[in-house]
Amino acid sequence: MSLISDKLNDIGYRPLVGTDQQDSSILENLPEIICYPLPADYLQFLSEFPITGNFDADIVCLGVESAPSAPDNIYPITLLYAGCSNSRNDLLKLRNMQCEIPLYLLIIGNDDGGNYFCLDLRAVSHGRVYFLFHEEEVETGLYLLANDFTSFIGTLRRDQ
């Protein structure tokens, strides 16, 4: 097991109830499908957790920057996307439905407020994790949470 899976298991990350097993070959070919290389730590996450999941408690992450909805840099998180029979919760289907979000941003999670957690796939900022505040334009609504996926997962904790 990896540090990512240990951390997620410790805080109660579980596959969504009622989801079926997805074809893992789709996630294995993800870099070719989305036309961007993916960070190794994120690919490791997908191999260990191929099904979209949520948490059995209220979970938050600590970001580097503060968004209007998180002035204390604490962001609640509800889901982490992977494969899912429900298209609203499937990593690839969600990407195709969200045409207003640039292709270099991969939506990897959400909160209950309609905001997204995104992985930046551009070479200049490859692997950084951002919070996308839905009430702002994409160019101004991105708030840095972590410089890489592993660090992002490392900031997750139960809400107090």
Give me the chain's average pLDDT, please.
90
Distances (CA, A) of 52 to 20, 39, 60, 123, 126: 10, 18, 17, 26, 22
- If you average pLDDT over residues 25-42, what whole number do you get? 83
Domain 3-158 grouped into CATH 3.40.30.10 = no
Q: Which two tokens stand for residue 159?
A: 């809400």
Short-list 86, 85, 135, CA closest to 111: 135
Domain spans of the chain, in order of start: 3-158
Taking only the tens place, the pLDDT of each residue in 113-157 is 999 999 999 999 999 999 999 999 888 999 999 999 999 999 999
